[in-house]
């Protein structure tokens, strides 16, 4: 799915990385590669999702807004590349895998505790699929987005962030950090303000968490396994 409009702050993120701007030589090589090489794995990406992740090791840290670019391996397994913005200077900050409940239930208890549910993400309007263009009718886009949410609400996710951009790291430092989802009101202070600020960064009226919350209130949801969302249960 194409990238969307983005703030100047998102464009500026690339300038924080040590090293000079790309040279003319690098730009020419990239252009040539795009014409002569086959990037099949990345062509599998079919959805752009935006939500907030929380550090499993310390959920008191501010949540990290994350753009997910996801594809299907098959009907039961998805994989997503995670970026800190939807702009051309976006940094690859992590990966997420999503699986259906029957696969989750086959995992060991230790493994199950690494995974999170998406029920609150979907029902609260926090998880959105930004409109690719304001030229796409909003009614048609919301229908497609809601159909996607009907699928995601019944998946478990496991996500690791590799680059802690929220603390100002200019390179991906340290070990990967297990992240989790927000699963209930009140877990994160100021979440509504964060979502309002996020919504304003996307074009048109298609990203509006309050509207999404109303539209999705009657979506069927799964019964979340007792081992999922372990971060919040061990507090």
Kindly tell me if the per-residue pLDDT of 33 is higher than 70.
no
Q: What is the DSSP letter of 119?
A: H
* Residue corresponding to tokens 């990290």: 64
Q: What are the respective helix, strand and coil percentages of the chain, to the nearest 5? A: 35, 20, 45
Q: For a pLDDT cut of 90, what percent of the chain falls above it?
A: 69
Provide the 10 A C-beta neighbour count for residue 165.
Answer: 19
CA-based angle 225:149:115, to the nearest 5? 30
Kindly tell me if the per-residue pLDDT of 2 is higher than 70.
no
Rounded CA gap, 180 and 159, in Å?
7
Length in residues, the chain: 235
**pTM of the predicted structure, to 2 decimals:** 0.84
pLDDT at site 36: 62
Q: For a pLDDT cut of 70, what percent of the chain falls above it?
A: 84
Rounded CA gap, 112 and 24, in Å?
48
pLDDT tens track for 98-145: 999 999 999 999 999 999 999 999 999 999 998 877 777 888 888 999
């Amino acid at each position: 799915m194409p990238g969307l409009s983005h703030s100047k702050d998102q464009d500026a993120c690339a300038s924080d990385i040590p090293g000079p701007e790309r040279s003319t030589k690098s730009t020419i090589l990239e252009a040539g590669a795009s014409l002569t090489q086959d990037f099949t794995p990345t062509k599998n990406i079919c959805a752009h999702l935006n939500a907030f992740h929380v550090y499993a090791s310390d959920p008191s840290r501010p949540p990290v807004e994350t753009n997910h670019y996801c594809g299907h391996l098959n009907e039961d397994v998805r994989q997503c590349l995670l970026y800190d913005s939807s702009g051309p200077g976006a940094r690859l900050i992590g990966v997420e895998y999503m699986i259906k409940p029957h696969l989750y239930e086959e995992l060991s208890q230790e493994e199950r505790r690494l995974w999170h549910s998406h029920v609150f993400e979907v029902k609260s309007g926090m998880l959105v699929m930004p409109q690719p263009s304001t030229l796409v009718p909003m009614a048609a886009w919301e229908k497609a987005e809601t159909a996607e949410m009907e699928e995601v609400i019944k998946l478990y996710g496991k996500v690791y962030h590799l680059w802690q951009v929220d603390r100002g790291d200019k390179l991906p430092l340290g070990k990967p950090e297990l992240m989790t989802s927000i699963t209930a009101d009140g877990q994160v202070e100021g979440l509504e303000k964060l979502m309002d600020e996020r919504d304003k960064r996307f074009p048109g009226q298609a990203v509006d968490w309050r509207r999404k919350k109303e539209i999705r209130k009657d979506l069927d949801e799964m019964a979340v396994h007792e081992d999922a969302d372990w971060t919040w249960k061990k507090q």
